[in-house]
Amino acid sequence: MIHQISAEHLSIDRVREILEKHYTLALSDDARRRIACCREYLDRKMDTQKEPIYGITTGFGSLCNISVDRDKLAQLQKNLVMSHACGTGERVPSEIVRLILLLKIQSLSYGHSGVQLCTVERLVEFFNDDVLPVIYQQGSLGASGDLAPLAHMSLPLLGLGQVEYKGEVREAGDVLREKGWSPIELQSKEGLALLNGTQFMSAYGVWSLIQARRLSEWADRIGALSLEAFDGRIEPFCDEVHLIRGHKGQLATARAFRRLLEGSELIGRPKAHVQDPYSFRCIPQVHGASKDTIDYVASVLTTEINSTTDNPTVFPEEDMVVSAGNFHGQPIALAMDFLAIAVAELGNISERRTYKLISGARELPAFLVAKPGLNSGFMIPQYTAASIVSQSKGLCMPASVDSIPSSQGQEDHVSMGSNAATKLARVVLNTERVLAIELMNAAQALEFRRPARSSEPIERMVAAYRKRVPFVDNDQVMYPHIESSIQFLRTTCDC
């Protein structure tokens, strides 16, 4: 299947489909025309304008006042890519590298960047042939674009740096020769067009958003199972309560729980207790707030991935080349910090439900085993969840509140959006693990309510889960069950 790169709106759902269904990319005729027209205009502009044009006929950053001779402009752009490839730390996962390539191609296709058509075509070839540049997570301030990581993305265009190809990390030059591809000779402005932009942080943000939506759905399913296992009450989930407050996510959560638990013997039986703890009773308010945050961040990231974010910006029809600041990551840095908090809260309340399930309350055995004392049962998975939740709380310190000036003060306010993005991804993975541990506990606890049955959707979910993770009669090694539970969340689309 082929996805045409064009000026048409690119949705988060479409991005997910492209990645999951392994679409190949192709530039639309309109995109080709816009890219070529912008490049032709820029070449004419350089022939006719005597005044310096930032980053095209001058140095970069605080070196913007130093003009560069025309015969050295190609070397200027190559030097930019080489000198800025200063990433370090862990490698960016392959699925996010593919997303970076997709978003960079999309941004360049609008015809405001001045790149050669062959440069964009090579990025398309990288995506389609899974020639994935080796990029590192640390090094971007998220202000003058994601300079360091996008430099690593760009090195292989020049036959430099490394790529992952067919499961191996190899020298990019060797792979290009093997495929019969000549290195790209960058023209004026192209290095800046490649390195300026928010595609590194946007890719992390989009990946995290896709996962956050998935985890939000799982949080409701697992929370409903926990409510059943804890012998909770359904009244806090009635429409009347949530309509008088009016938050969209809160109402959606309550309705989701009622759908999930419709027809359950357990939820409908008389209760000895008058009310439930907040971690159960306030699920609509907590899960709902996270849903609303996810929707808000989706709107911000959707705008971002449909934008031109490099600098300077070229407007052929208006005969303008403007040095401005569309590469600044502030709009999405704030949103990604917000999303990290919302996703972490799904884990925070999940761990509290796990704690209640193992506490020996409401006729459940302590630590969810028949012979506590001899068996520790599910005592320590809760420790693990608590440890992970604590780490996520630390990661939720907003990166976007910090700024460290760079480039001799020329770049004197930065977004730290790349740090917000990579922290967000860690919080997402942490929350997935915490929810997987809750599922392990809730499925175990449900067995102590037999022969009573839950609803058909919940019983179907538990039956599918039991094919991966067994009921625990007596103590056994638990970490493989935690990993199997994580994989269940990651690979199960519909129970």
| Cα–Cα distance, 410 to 88 (Å, whole number) | 24
| Cα–Cα distance, 310 to 146 (Å, whole number) | 10
pLDDT in the model for residue 222: 98
Share of the chain above pLDDT 90, in %: 86
Cα torsion at 245, 249, 251, 252 (round to 10°)? 170
Collect all residues with Cβ–Cβ distance below 8 Å to 172 and sequence separation of at least 6.
Answer: 133, 155, 156, 159, 160, 161, 162, 163
**pLDDT classification of 58: cutoffs 50, 70, 90:** low
Region 44-68 average pLDDT:
68
Structural domains in the chain plus CATH codes: 2-197 (1.10.275.10), 204-491 (1.20.200.10)
- Res 65 pLDDT > 80: no
| Cα–Cα distance, 155 to 115 (Å, whole number) | 16
Taking only the tens place, the pLDDT of each residue in 140-171 is 999 988 999 999 999 999 999 999 999 999 99
| Cα–Cα distance, 129 to 131 (Å, whole number) | 6
Per-residue DSSP letter, 375 = B
CA distances from 50 to 45, 46, 70, 72, 178 (A): 9, 8, 12, 16, 43
pLDDT in the model for residue 20: 95
Residue in 54, 110, 165, 204 annotated catalytic: 54
- Res 62 pLDDT > 60: no
- Res 55 pLDDT > 80: no
Question: Count of residues for the chain?
Answer: 495
Is 355 assigned a catalytic role? no
Range of weakest confidence among 50-54, 222-226, 278-282, 465-469: 50-54
Positive/negative CA dihedral, 299, 431, 460, 254: negative
Helices (H), 306-378: 330-357
pLDDT in the model for residue 60: 58
| Cα–Cα distance, 148 to 408 (Å, whole number) | 17
Closest by CA to 143, choosing from 411, 374, 337, 335, is 411
pLDDT in the model for residue 59: 60
Taking only the tens place, the pLDDT of each residue in 85-109 is 999 999 999 999 999 999 999 999 9
Q: DSSP of 379-425, one letter per residue?
A: HHHHHHHHHHHHHHHHHTS-GGG----BGGGTB-----HHHHHHHHH
Place of tokens 């009016």: 246
Region 372-386 average pLDDT:
94
pLDDT in the model for residue 75: 87
**pLDDT classification of 69: cutoffs 50, 70, 90:** low
Collect all residues with Cβ–Cβ distance below 8 Å to 290 and sequence separation of at least 6.
Answer: 212, 216, 219, 249, 342, 343, 345, 346
Region 248-275 average pLDDT:
96
User: Quick check: 326 and 143 in contact, CB under 8 A?
Assistant: no
- Res 63 pLDDT > 60: no
pLDDT in the model for residue 415: 92
- Res 495 pLDDT > 60: no
| Cα–Cα distance, 491 to 45 (Å, whole number) | 53
